[in-house]
Amino acid sequence: MKDGGNDSGARSGKAAKDRREARLKLALRENLKRRKSQARERADFTPASPGSDDVAGDDGEESPG
């Protein structure tokens, strides 16, 4: 049964949910910015990878190709 019709708990629950959603939205946005920045740094720092002809096996033989 309901008591005197006081629904302030529902309002405060909605407000708390709204604050939580806003906080999570901001955290996701900041995380995305950080990840994009890291990806840009990695793209700028790509070391030259050896070609497939330069790859040698464990016994020192060159790979056929």
| pLDDT at residue 11, rounded to an integer | 74
Which of 4, 2, 24, 20 is closest to 12 using CA atoms?
20
Please tell me the distance from the alpha carbon of residue 62 to that of residue 58, in angstroms, as a whole number.
Answer: 10
DSSP letter assigned to residue 19: H
pLDDT tier for residue 23 given thresholds of 50, 70 and 90: very high
pTM: 0.48
Q: Which pLDDT belongs to residue 3?
A: 57
Residue 56 β-bridge partners: 62
Q: What is the pLDDT of residue 8?
A: 59
